Chain A
Amino acid sequence: MAAQAPSLWTTFRRNTIRSFAAMLRQRWFGISMLLLLAAFILGPMLNVLVWAFTDARIQPPRLVPEQWSLKWWGETFTRLDVAGGFMTSVGISLTVTLVAALICLPASYAFARMKFRGRTPFLLSFLMVNAFPRFGIYITIAVVFFRLGLVGTVPGVVLIQLVNTLLFMIWIPTAAFQGVDRSLEEAALDAGASPLRVFVQITLPMVLPALSASLLLTFVGTFYETQGALLIGIPNVKTLPVVIITLINHHIRQLGAVLSVALWVPSLVLLIFAQRVLRGGTLAAGFGL
């Protein structure tokens, strides 16, 4: 059936309705949503920001301090517990990222490229981490660690934090490897390149953005992870977030404020860099989409 051109009136009416709806969607709806989100999401963060840059308490009903000061930044970071927590966190996060990469990257290459029996069930088994309430899993792991004497040790914390990283480190790289156009690799092989050379010069550059994104997410996610580290780490191993918990009700509010700002500003920077990855739907792969 030949498509019939819509009459002038239909086109006019449709465009009017559409542009009205579009205006409503884009202007008022968009602006009010932006303001609401900004107040809800950014409000608490900015509130903490002003607390981090004042010497004395902010006297209500003032919103910002009368005098700004950097005094507490020095005071906070020279505290022994904070410096120690920072070093512990860096060490543990690097270890977790490295171990996760060593286990998961070869595995994800295999998942993407090889057809073996049980491939799909095995890949789906990683979803189990999401399919149970996370803290319930942690509790049952903690009981095992109690018996093994792993509670309060660095290896214990590393192991429990690995649980968090597995899904992202398997699914995102698997999706990336699957996305590589095989014909490019075959062409290079035909032209006489060695398999290793093909991998380094053809495959790797194409998956590198997704791989680095998943590595970065693993590192940051581990650095910020609180519940597993708290549950398994006490009383000896204290990562930075665990140290902050002890400072949260400290009578000097600036300590917690400085540390909060020191943690959320890097997240903001990270988000700016991760925008491209996030838009591409790479991250959604980590939730099973």
Chain B
Amino acid sequence: MALLIVYPAALSVFDTLTATSADGSTRFTLESYVTFFQLPDALPNLWFTLRITVVTVTILFALCFPIAYYLRFSTSQLSVPVRFLALFPMFVPGIVTAFALIRFLGDNGWIENILFSLTGWEGWVSPIAKPQGIVIGLVWEGVPVTVLVLTAGLSQVPNHLIESARDVGANGRQVFFRIIFPQIRRSVMIVLTLNFLGVFGAFTIPLLLGGASPQMYGHYMANRLYGIGQYTHAQTAAVIMFLISAAVGTLYVRSVVNQRMEKGE
């Protein structure tokens, strides 16, 4: 574990903070960061990555919370196919997702053809190779984990608690905000942080569904890594990524720890 994650990460931090002087000694310097941010695309790509991340995480939560809520409280037979569909993308490789979405949403895909056949509308603009394409792809991939974690969180809310609240006259909104929400706060936190980190560090979908510029950081770092003599840039980008996500990562770990302590670990 230490060998595979801590050592490489620490090495990158060390590499990017030092330089070798002419006499062979190592000294501390911020040069690689200065050079990195002087690259014309470093900052725009960073903003782009953060924007895509926030938008995707928000859409995922708004889309998946009702699904998880339904799965938790519905007794209908419909919940079986709903659960099945929501979990299906979990086992579909990113490359297949990308290929399928290009066929489905791209030029002459089903969406364009269906809209044309039904309404005669020819204005469909393919989202592929645009920021929208990345968001759609990442949402598609993120549904299973989001639904899974939220459903697990909701299932920890005991039925009798909700029923007794109803018995004393709480309305739906009160039940939700006073009873259910406090109990699932941690799962919500876990899912938001997990999705943030997942989207922030995504590679396959941005590579295949995004445009050439601006690029998300995963895509950008990979390009830098194979550019000749540029892998310090890739390392610098990775360290910047770690710094930005450190706060989110800490929140994630803390939520998990608290969650487990409550369960009596």
Which of A30, A138, A248, A281 interacts with B76 by CB under 8 Å?
Answer: A30
B143 contacts A244, CB within 8 Å?
no
B221 at the interface (CB under 8 A from A): yes
- CB contact under 8 A between A133 and B99, given known A143-B231, A263-B93, A270-B91: no
Given contacts A40-B140, A144-B7, A271-B91, whether A287 and B149 have CB atoms under 8 Å apart is yes
Q: Write out the residue numbers on chain B whose beta carbons fall within 8 Å of the beta carbon of A38.
A: 81, 85
- Within 24-79 of A, Cβ neighbours of B (below 8 Å) are at 25-26, 29-31, 33-34, 37-38, 40-48, 51, 58, 60-63
Q: Is the CB of A248 within 8 A of B202?
A: no
- Cα-based distance from A63 to B112 in the complex (angstroms): 10
B28 within 8 A of A: no
30 pairs from A and B in contact (CB 8 Å cutoff)? A25-B74, A26-B74, A26-B76, A33-B66, A37-B67, A41-B143, A47-B100, A61-B113, A131-B252, A132-B9, A132-B197, A132-B245, A132-B249, A135-B201, A136-B201, A139-B12, A139-B221, A139-B222, A140-B9, A140-B238, A141-B4, A143-B11, A227-B94, A227-B218, A241-B93, A257-B103, A267-B88, A271-B88, A288-B256, A289-B256
Interface string of B93-114 (1 = CB under 8 A from A): 1111111111111001111111
Contact B225–A142 (Cβ < 8 Å): yes
Q: Whole-angstrom distance between the alpha carbons of A130 and B191 in the complex?
A: 12
Residues of B within 8 A of A63 (CB): 110, 113-114, 117
Inter-subunit contact B12/A60 (CB<8 Å): no
Residues of B within 8 A of A (CB): 1, 4-9, 11-12, 15, 66-67, 70, 73-76, 78-79, 81-105, 108-114, 116-117, 140, 143, 145, 148-149, 152-153, 155, 166-167, 172, 187, 190, 194, 197-198, 200-204, 208, 217-218, 221-222, 225, 231, 234-235, 237-238, 241-242, 245, 249-250, 252-253, 255-257, 259-260, 265
